[in-house]
Structure 1
């Protein structure tokens, strides 16, 4: 049966007014023109499926029959896959990619998985040496990558765990009393587990004696890390049934992937317990996403706060759609998630023009940036450096940059946008996703040519790069 055209202008207008947005702001968030929005509100034009999905995703409209979670992420991953020269003239247009993502997501996932297997095999064959006999074992997705994609396409939000953790947080009294004592008391009263410090410190952070019911923690842990480890122990004891059910339904290919994911789900539970959803979401809005204040209010680390902000995707009670990443000094993205249009590349390093890299030059400071990607979308970007690891003069410590941000239409809900000239075109730095897939032709910071471009070599003329780039249009690729 065909679905009739939907004219819901009044509902759209009421929703816009309830969010205190002008037509320009509302249209920008939906990704449509102001004139189109005006026609929708006056019922001169019906609402398209794309706009309905955007309303459901960004403005908490309950459209349970529509799927609005993984579209941008799957589209980005599929586009990056088909950009590989392997596919030659068989590249697809953006419209074709959207049709596949919306109508046949299973095929999109299968193609991405096949391409990843091809890359793994190719990379191993390029440096096999004496490992040729083991090359066949690398064509499949590694357990870590399989788990990473599980969380990525779940929108980094696990509803059953989040709801259970929030219920337990209320029972324990998280937010109403000092977290460390509340967590320790709950472990003792509910599970008969005693918490003690290690008598002889070593490189073990935590150790649980299941028979003796003793949780032993390193005496050198920061308070936020100590609380997280106690919360993780509660996750293992109280969340076992729901976590087992999620793992059974996930369809992982190996036991290793199951156990790696179990670690991730325990960590997710712990984060949701010490930063309960509704209380944390309300605080984030009240404090305008001030990371330091959120950290102080909940006794959590900056990384815990940033990571939790990226999980606020509960249907009907969503937070601001942000992107979040943790990056090491070598530029490796060790954590990543994006509920915004900006999606991180699956292969290759992050754009060198992104402010995340500058965080290492200014420890303890918040680095702000206004940025624009090649598709014309603008973002508020925030970055700061953190240090992790053992304490003591001889201890080895790890340094990471935490990066997060939002589309510019949400910037006024972040304290970090204050004093920034959001309306100035020249205030926005041009950034990309990864040099490998970036279509900018005039970037002097480019590390490698884009795989979707043609090189122009002039031996008599040299600019910042030893070549010039000419982007290949979709028409040329299809000829």
Structure 2
């Protein structure tokens, strides 16, 4: 059963009132609500209404883009997974976690940081490979984890970078079948020569000679992406640096990793400019192959871009996007939906993304339901990246794009599916150790939150029973 997503923003309301130097009574009058109603909203006992949101913008020039209902949900999911670690003993009730995520987000982030540090320290003791890093890094999250969380809590949408990429795309004619040639012409007009060679790395920029080298072995969408990536570093370095300054990363390594991530973000947004791509996605009903052909992009580029269409005032369908390797390790993840991926480990084995490796070149559709009762339409496909020469290793991944079932009508992939039949939805989870299901035949490890029943005289699908109450 679907549930409406309500907006609780008590922290932002209190901060706005405090910064304005107003009492609760004066603040309530400016917002046009009663004092008791304001008190309930500030304590997250009631959601913020549309009228209050408009009053905040009108009376206090409040940036409405900061009111993201999904952030508290993501943080709640992250807290629940972290606190499922046996070191904490017992997991607080969901209501308490939601209260912390909504009312005390800084405390919630501190708990996640502490747990990440604890986990990192434990893994370093258990694995000699982990000990190859800096001696003091066990006290900090790994740089790549810090960067991952930066994009995670930005909704994977960076407005200033996205808009700059859109403007560049319009000037350079980068969206369409001639994107590579147009990009090369733009670089030439700015004194940079582009050379495409059958050997060498995907991309190498010789700043002194002002020459960009691209691998001719790579598919054309990849070459165009690498060209746009270099444009981001050359022509928009100041914007990227300003964004990095706001992120306040703990280490230079994390900043350097995020710099590449932002350049990748720019490249994707330039090849698939926001307004044109959103309009095309709606027109083509999110047909990935048609969109890939129309914009000269790869299927992975299209699927990933669809998950970033969260511009305030012009949002697309909220998708989740994930990429896994053949071992089931998640290598890319993002969700604008209520489904939040596990921060550590792989994805649920009942999810169709794993089956995609068995049917290369085909789209797999799945109607899935998570333990919280939310239903999704999931679309998975295997992706092979050729090595470019004989005996060169090939990269194989599976990608999955999905949305809550309420948006399925906007997708061509749902046209012949019975989405009204509850029995058609397969049960999936997030991660075995935090999954609430007690009857899953694919469970890999026991759930941390539940007590186990060990009966030496009885064996079922699992070698243990799971208590329905902790």
- Scaled to the shorter chain, the TM-score interval is 0.7 to 0.9
- Give CA-to-partner distance per residue, 1:80-114, whole Å, 9 cap, x none: 1122222114x322222122111111110010010
CA shift for structure 1 position 49 = 4.6
Q: Compute the displacement of 1:134 (Å).
A: 7.1
In the TM superposition, 1:366-385 aligns within 5 A as: 366-385=363-382
> Within the alignment, does 1:322 sit opposite 2:323 as a pair?
no
How many pairs align?
Answer: 426
Does residue 96 of structure 1 match 2:96?
yes
**What's 2:256 paired with?**
259
Give CA-to-partner distance per residue, 1:206-262, whole Å, 9 cap, x none.
111111111111121101001111111211112111101011111111110110000
Change (3 A) 1:438 1:179: same
Q: Which residue of 1 aligns with 2:195?
A: 196
Shift of 1:332: 0.5
Residue matched to 1:4: none
Q: Does 1:435 align with 2:432?
A: yes
Deviation readout 1:351-407 (Å, 9 max, x if unpaired)? 000000000000000000000011100000110010124212211011000011000
Contact 1:439/1:471, CA 8 A, preserved across alignment: no
Unmatched 5+ residue regions in structure 2?
8-36, 54-62
Partner of 1:207: 204
**1:339 maps onto 2:336 in alignment:** yes
For residues 10-49 of structure 1, what are the structure 2 equivalents within 5 Å? 28-30=3-5, 49=46
Q: What SS is found at the alignment partner of 1:387? A: strand
Q: Which residue of 1 aligns with 2:392?
A: 395
- Once residues 333 and 129 of structure 1 are traced to their aligned partners in structure 2, the CA distance between those partners, rounded to angstroms, is 20
Question: Normalised by the size of structure 1, how large is the TM-score?
Answer: 0.84
Q: 1:45-84 to 2 correspondence within 5 Å?
A: 49-50=46-47, 52=49, 63=64, 66-84=67-85
- Other structure's SS at 1:220 match: coil
RMSD: 2.5
Cα distance, 1:177 vs. partner? 6.5
State the distance in 1 between where 2:133 and 2:223 align.
Answer: 45
Separation (CA, whole Å) in 1 of partners of 2:133 and 2:240: 37
Partner of 1:17: none
Cα offsets for 1:39-97 (capped at 9, x unmatched): xxxxxxx99853748x98xxxxx9457343522211110111122222114x3222221
Partners in 1 of 2:439 and 2:379 — Cα distance? 25
What is the distance in 2 between the residues matched to 1:431 and 1:355? 10
Cα distance in 1 for partners of 2:235, 2:398 equals: 33
Classify the secondary structure of the residue corresponding to 1:314: coil
User: Which TM-score applies when normalising by structure 2?
Assistant: 0.86
User: Any conservation in 2 of the 1:121–1:136 contact (CA below 8 Å)?
Assistant: no
SS in 2 for 1:447: coil
Distance in 2, Cα, partners of 1:129 & 1:404: 33
Give me the whole-angstrom Cα distance separating, in 2, the residues matched to 1:414 and 1:292: 13
Q: Equivalents in 2 of 1:228, 1:101: separation in Å?
A: 37
Question: What does residue 179 of structure 1 align with?
Answer: 179
* 5+ long unaligned stretches in structure 1: 1-23, 33-45, 57-61, 474-479
For the Cα contact (< 8 Å) 1:125–1:135, is it kept in 2?
no
**Matched residue, 2:354:** 357
